[in-house]
Amino acid sequence: MRALFVQQDHVSPTGPIGERFERRGYETVEFPVVPAGRFHAPDVEVVFPDPRDYDVIVPMGAPWSVYDEATIGSWVRAELEFLRLAHESGVPVLGICFGGQALAAALGGRVERGPEPEIGWHTIETRAPGLVEAGPWFQWHHDRWSPPPGADALARTAAAPQAFTLRRSLAVQFHPELTLTMLEGWLGNGGGDWVTAHGGDVERLVAMTEEEEPAAVARAYRLVDRFLDQVAARPR
């Protein structure tokens, strides 16, 4: 079995999500979209693989917005087509943050600027704790989705929807893959200025992440297990 991780940028490793897929018997394959040298000019040409060659697709987070084609160029349209084909072909998709927003847009939902950013560790309201538990989960976004037609909206915060399922796909707005090392990479790649500009405290964010990481990794493992056992296992 093979799981394809779509890494939108060079500072988005698979973290404990990739680890859990491997422990569940999957070979994890990484597909980079924007290389490090083009991070500040991300309108690259991308040819996505055939999603039907994989058993699971995991599109990950990004510092850009799904609707910002002026910045990221045509590859976002190609990614939406890629995700739509995966979903319609019965290939399970686990969309994370930008990846969840992209899945929503690909399946007929809408992505827009939210009323306020969400940064840091937040407990979510969930009506399906046996699939997506309350957390706390790490948030780092300023956009939100409207779920696609037919989706089952599972969780939310005051600022944004947090999870939905549709057939064999699950989208989450938060970052279950987040580790302290990953956060430090984001902060050092311009994210620290973004946090400060939006009223956040970088030192406190780091300290909270260091404290929360062991429990968060266990939650991430449970999320992968539940996705595979409850969502991906649904009939095609």
Catalytic residue numbers, as ranges: 97, 175, 177
Q: Phi and psi (nearest 5°) for 37?
A: -70, -15
**Number of Cα atoms under 13 Å in the Cβ half of residue 140:** 27
Q: Measured in whole angstroms, how far is the alpha carbon of residue 2 from the centre of its chain?
A: 18
Q: Measured in whole angstroms, how far is the alpha carbon of residue 204 from the centre of its chain?
A: 23
DSSP string, 95-113: EETHHHHHHHHHTT-EEEE
Q: Phi and psi (nearest 5°) for 201?
A: -115, 105
Beta bridge partners of residue 125, listed in sequence order: 156
Residue 2, number of CB atoms within 10 A of its CB: 12
Using alpha carbons only, what angle is made at residue 208 by residues 137 and 95, rounded to the nearest 5 degrees? Answer: 25
3-state secondary structure at position 154 = strand
CA distances from 196 to 51, 124, 199, 218 (A): 38, 23, 5, 29
